[in-house]
Structure 1
């Protein structure tokens, strides 16, 4: 459960009782604050946005864009608590299996047409439909939507999905087992509504600026792939009167150091701090340098499937690779931004999560290195007869530094890593087709509960690119959906990952940014770091 997000009223609502959410709308500008005449916000993207389609996007940076162009049933406030989006509230049946959402009657699309319950029905069916080929189709299954597994597998018609419009402003959703954190899952972009008529008219071109019709606080005015995204405030948004920022710009800059340079030149209002520079910048710019816990985990995914190298099918080789990586050097000497060394998958700050007792996490690095050498020698690999592996990573100076460090940790033990840098789309396409041996990967939670991490390594996951399949693991995660307390199962699932080592955990993220001191309204107490342009404002200097 998302205890940390203070939404027990939503999660534990009694039968037939309306679950309301706090009325915290748009920018909350304190009395007496003088606003700047310049109400624009420019932020940094590392990579090009692959898709503006809510049901197709898989990227964190893409989600940042989509939350501004579209709006789902609920949003998050600065603490992570749910606040109304298109839904004002909902009721839950006595058996916990039927949600009825009451939609606001003033929600409009950017062309002025009303947002209806049918727009959500269409979007959710589209997500589950095999014809859409969405990597996030499995999200409908994770949400336990009635008949989703059969539909996704092509064994049932999409119209059997347990979602129905009772009228224009009433949405009914049927799930197969009570899921306390179900409402929190509704902030994810894949559940956002889309317009059927627009998609049918323009096909794959419906996300072009001249065609895209959204229901968010902003409209898309320009998208130059790999260069910039421009968004204007939407006059049709239901809370437009309280939306202060009038224009959003996202600039794609693949070089993190160049991003910082452009921030310091005044071209950006927010940028990630390059590895190793946070201590200096925090001293020089104490009002701008920030480091906050961020629910993302950084790993090297191993291809243990049929297309993967034979060596990685040996669990002891996989363990040796993990043991050899000196995470303390990575977080303390390379990153230096408040990140945590990781020996597991689920981010340490995830609400309610209990870490298993992972043995090698308590060893000294000398002990880990010695054990890695022993295991590699037993498998026949030494500096004289090395194991040859390729490590792919997407373009980033930080990723490059970590990859070089990993290769240096492994080389003396008899592992030669060939480092392959590629742009984001190529990198992800190759992962999705299992065309890799080792690959840099990161996952940011879709909601603040351990299942958002652990479901990824099930056999039915849409993101298990390394093809780690384990029946015991699948059973734990399936059983967790009906457990009164799933946390012990999450701990046990993490232990399986530690025992089988299909990934090499590297570190748990912190959000390490430079943020212009006159920009206000960004979240600081939400481990998800979910932000909305409508909540921001720029103060007068």
Structure 2
């Protein structure tokens, strides 16, 4: 989604017995052909006496638990636990009917009709088709200021409404009755049922939302329709969810409670794991301390899995000196990505020479060379002349609080000093504050990770389509780039569409508003008695089918 807080759809992992003896990069999918409920029945452990409680660490305070404005992996983890969509991605990596028990698609692929099952909100209210219509239009409403509104642009007139060019009633989502939702799309969208499993497409309870603007920031006012409901939220300290007895599929949910600590220091988190205070440490809700990774790998305790995500630095293209593409490229070309992976990250990441991760890459050879200092120096000299500068002023590199981000920033700071002769000041901030400063343009260079919402290049490339796009903190825009992305939505032939998207990525990499650094892997340690946690190949986590033996 996704803005990823850590250094961290091609596959799904079911993290249970199949992984108990695996380490390094050897983890393999389990039960990948089964539907979620079937998988849970196959893998169900014998019931134990007493409540089943899973203890985890979130690393950081979730900025929100509102699916309409969520934009990061930390918030999404809590939202997936407490909400349910029309579809839900199962253990086989595919979207399955969830709140929708039957889905009909027109022959032209432009109209979807969702027939809803009987289900309830955690407060006992009925979940209706109107809740979905309200939620989608709320996320698109400019007044909501959702940075993920563009994810609903696939819906007819979704973009037009979001940009003030159409009315709310023109949006192609309509509750025909309490149990029937009709959706009309702008263009045929093969991955649409993956999108309906994404938080921005989740319903919200209109009565609850309109009664309290801060409904999603406190446990006592939070209402969801998912496997769990929020019991308590001690801000920046602890968050607890418990089994939701009003959930339509409650018999599948085996855990009674999930307790989340919020400890930012990764070494402390690993100590908590070693001491039995938590059952899991590291990805996807936190990170392992980099200094501990060699020993964890050697012991065979660490699990690792590549995911469809890219770690990059963003440039603020509205502020000098990074309003110059050649200077941006000089900074990107001058760093040694492989040394960062070998000496700091150490979990099999791949140097990123393009924006698109390997599962959706169009140009697998990339667009530039790693550690190309000669070209970087030439570009810097040319860029400085264009800017009327004799040398670069000191710049500021920002990152959110994390040991891993700090070590990467320190290494790149040293490389930029050595290779380009530039002085770099490092600045770290708490996650929520950091996100807000990026959105406000209060930065020069800032780190961010993006994990795919679905396994298609458009999901990464569309981030930078519009200067005022919700996740485009670079403020960069290119008319030709935008034209190519819009054109791609109308192309049915796969190869032709990939050619157009490849041309767009080439423009993005030529102007370099972002600096790709590496493609993600996720690494973690878990107790052997934790079974059934589902982590997708996109890095999403779902505890619906989890249990503790």
Unaligned runs of 5+ in 1: 6-20
TM-score by length of 2: 0.88
- d(CA) in 2 for partners of 1:514 and 1:118? 42
Q: Spell out, residue by residue over 1:284-330, the C-alpha distance to the aligned partner (whole angstroms, 9 max, x if none).
A: 2x2x411001222111100112xx12x21222211110111110011
Partner of 1:277: 292
Name 2:81's counterpart in structure 1: 68
SS of the counterpart of 2:264?
coil
**Conserved 8 A contact 1:35-1:537:** no
Shift of 1:34: 2.9
Measured after TM superposition, the shift of residue 458 of structure 1 is 0.6
The equivalent of 2:53 in structure 1 is 40
| More moved, 423-432 vs 267-276 | 267-276
Structure 1 residues 228-377: aligned runs within 5 Å: 228-272=238-282, 273-284=288-299, 286=300, 288-305=301-318, 308-309=319-320, 311-350=321-360, 353-355=361-363, 357-361=365-369, 365=371, 368-377=372-381
RMSD: 2.2
Give the one of 221, 224, 237 matched to 2:231: 221
Out of 174, 182, 191, the residue aligned to residue 192 of structure 2 is: 182
Q: Which position in structure 2 is the counterpart of 1:99?
A: 112
Matched, 1:480 2:491: no
Instruction: Confirm or deny: 8 A CA contact 2:35 2:90 kept in the other structure.
Output: no
Matched residue pairs, number?
Answer: 507
Give the equivalent residue in structure 2 for 1:513: 524
What is the CA distance between 1:439 and its match in structure 2? Answer: 0.5
Unaligned runs of 5+ in 2: 1-8, 13-32, 283-287
- Aligned match of 2:416: 410
Does 2:408 match 1:398? Answer: no
Following TM superposition, by how much is the alpha carbon of 1:185 offset from its aligned partner in structure 2, in angstroms? 0.9
Change (3 A) 1:276 1:349: farther
Distance 2:291 2:407 in 1: 10
CA contact (8 A) 1:317 1:376 kept: yes
Q: Is the 8 A contact 2:35 2:91 kept in 1?
A: no
CA distance in 1, matches of 2:457, 2:273: 35
Choose which of 496, 508, 522 in structure 1 pairs with 2:533.
522
Distance in 2 between residues matched to 1:518 and 1:328, nearest whole Å: 36
In structure 2, the CA distance between the partners of 1:203 and 1:359, relative to structure 1 (3 Å rule), is closer
SS across alignment from 1:155? coil
Contact 1:26-1:243 within 8 A present in 2 as well: no
Give the superposition deviation at 1:359.
4.4
Contact 1:219 1:233 survives alignment (8 Å)? yes
- Report the equivalent of 1:132: 144
Taking a change above 3 Å as real, the CA distance of residues 444 and 149 of structure 1, as seen in their structure-2 partners, is same
Shift of residue 27, structure 1, vs aligned partner: 6.5
Cα pair 2:39 2:91 within 8 Å, conserved: no
